[in-house]
Amino acid sequence: MTAPGSQPDQSTTPRVSQKRVGAAIVVGTALEYFDFFLYSAMAALVIGPTFFPSENSVASAMAALATFGIGFLARPFAGLVFGIIGDKFGRKAVLSWSLIMMGISSGLMGLLPSYATIGVAAPILLVVLRIVQGVGAGAEFSSAIAVSYEYAREGTRGRLGSLPTLGVNLGVFCASLTVAGLALIGDDFFYSWGWRIPFVASFVLALVGYVIRLKLPESPEFTAMPAQESKRSWSRVMADLFRSDWRGLVIVFVVYAGYALVATLWKTFSLSYLSEFQDVSGAVSSFGVTLASLFAIIWTPICGRLCDAVPVQRVLAFGGALVILYSFPFFWLLDTGNSFGIWIALILGTGALAPLLSVAASPFMARQFATNTRVTGLGVGKESSGAVAAGFGPVVALGLVSASGTASTTGVSMMFAAGGVMFLIAAWKGKTTAPQVGSITERSLLEGAHRGS
């Protein structure tokens, strides 16, 4: 057992274990975000008319996007509960069970009868499953970030920290390619039952990911913590977090709010905007996300190496400035109505800027907390900000465009700029080194011993 606050010698970690960690993170996160983005893409294209039919197509789309946001409301609860489990009992269990929850809820979505078949029960059941899906997603990414950070040697935080982002983009690529392929077969096939196929396939995909993660070794930093850390009560974990790492919570909330806002506007709102206001087919917009995700798969490892060569604060600040600069040109490209212009817009946003920001944010957010509060801190800070920014950003954006009367996107561009400012603030105020483990717990034990004497 190492002393509190010390770092394990990861040079002695078996290389095969690091390979297993990489595979478990990438494959598991890819499968999880295949399910997650599948819903967001379908929300823009088919969930609305199937479960929220309305004579007003914009109202139907907004109702569908609201269910997308409801899933994010469940994520802070998941981040708290599973974060404490991860800090008390280990990261492995959280990563395994998050996949099961996501797979079961997504699979059942594909089996749900439509509104035309069972009436109001259809959207109610959809919302329930979306909440379960949100719990699974809320438990997943924070633990994946923690494991990749804790397994990395000094100087490789960026490369290993890029693995969760790589998994996300692989999942988005596969989901968007699936949606685009199904849409190309024909509207009758797609809107009747074809859209259900990838959801039902989630049963099998989740099982595959679960088996892979069963072989995941626990993180070296977690196993090196003092034994009393796992004996803390749930309230003690929360006390340790808010007493010692409250500043980290604020920083993570700000940086992830910025990322969640701009990423969901690029990936989710843009599909609804193109469909409702530019009369662009789902096949064109979904294929644009596919191209962007393919670019991101290639670009993400490069971003990881960049974050090992340049301090991540500088990368975040640079990325935030680029988001601000791109806030208006993004819509200029979309408004051309030209497939090539749309694809370029999505590649620059979803394919280039989003991965750069996500890769830099992962080790940056992880080092805001000590090992004994890391997963809880990431879960609470990240998921609470995501619930607000990502959950309802697309709905607010769609409402702004609709309320303008001229389909103006100026308000949405300002939302992008606000996200960029959040990155600048977080980069300026964030910690440059992780705090030591166990300082609060040790002090509490000493105080207890003093009172007992």
Residue 330 pLDDT grade (very low, low, confident, very high; cuts 50, 70, 90): very high
Residue 443 pLDDT grade (very low, low, confident, very high; cuts 50, 70, 90): very low
Q: pTM (2 decimals)?
A: 0.79
The pLDDT of 376-399, averaged and rounded, is 86
Query: Which CATH architecture does the domain made up of 18-215+229-442 adopt?
Result: Up-down Bundle (1.20)
Say what the pLDDT of residue 49 is: 78
Average pLDDT, the chain: 83
Rounded distance between C-alpha atoms, residue 38 and residue 48, angstroms = 14
Residue 55 pLDDT grade (very low, low, confident, very high; cuts 50, 70, 90): low
Judged by average pLDDT, the poorest of 20-29, 317-326, 420-429 is 20-29
Say what the pLDDT of residue 41 is: 74
- pLDDT for residue 144 is more than 50: yes
Rounded distance between C-alpha atoms, residue 404 and residue 420, angstroms = 23
362 closest CA partner among 90, 82, 168, 164:
164
Two tokens at 250? 């604020």
191 or 14, which is more confident: 191
Between 282-309 and 312-326, two packed helices, what is the crossing angle to 10 degrees?
A: 150
Judged by average pLDDT, the poorest of 65-74, 133-142, 313-322 is 65-74
**Are the C-beta atoms of residues 357 and 300 closer than 8 Å to each other?**
no
Say what the pLDDT of residue 18 is: 64
- pLDDT for residue 69 is more than 70: no
158 closest CA partner among 359, 300, 435:
359
Rounded distance between C-alpha atoms, residue 129 and residue 342, angstroms = 32
Rounded distance between C-alpha atoms, residue 360 and residue 321, angstroms = 14
**Are the C-beta atoms of residues 91 and 143 closer than 8 Å to each other?**
yes
In the block, tokens 């995941």 appear at: 216
Segments making up each domain of the chain, as ranges: 18-215+229-442
348 closest CA partner among 292, 272, 302, 301:
292
Say what the pLDDT of residue 319 is: 96
The pLDDT of 152-169, averaged and rounded, is 85
The pLDDT of 103-124, averaged and rounded, is 88
179 closest CA partner among 267, 304, 87, 59:
267
**DSSP letter assigned to residue 371:** G
The pLDDT of 41-68, averaged and rounded, is 71
**Are the C-beta atoms of residues 362 and 428 closer than 8 Å to each other?**
no
**372: exposed, middle or buried (Cβ count in 10 Å: 0-12, 13-18, 19+):** buried
Say what the pLDDT of residue 127 is: 85
Say what the pLDDT of residue 423 is: 95
pLDDT in tens, 234-278: 888 888 888 888 889 999 999 999 999 999 899 878 888 888 888
The pLDDT of 363-374, averaged and rounded, is 92
Please, which residues have CB within 8 angstroms of residue 211's CB and are 6 or more apart in sequence?
none
Helix and strand numbers, DSSP H then E, in the chain: 21, 0
376 or 133, which is more confident: 376
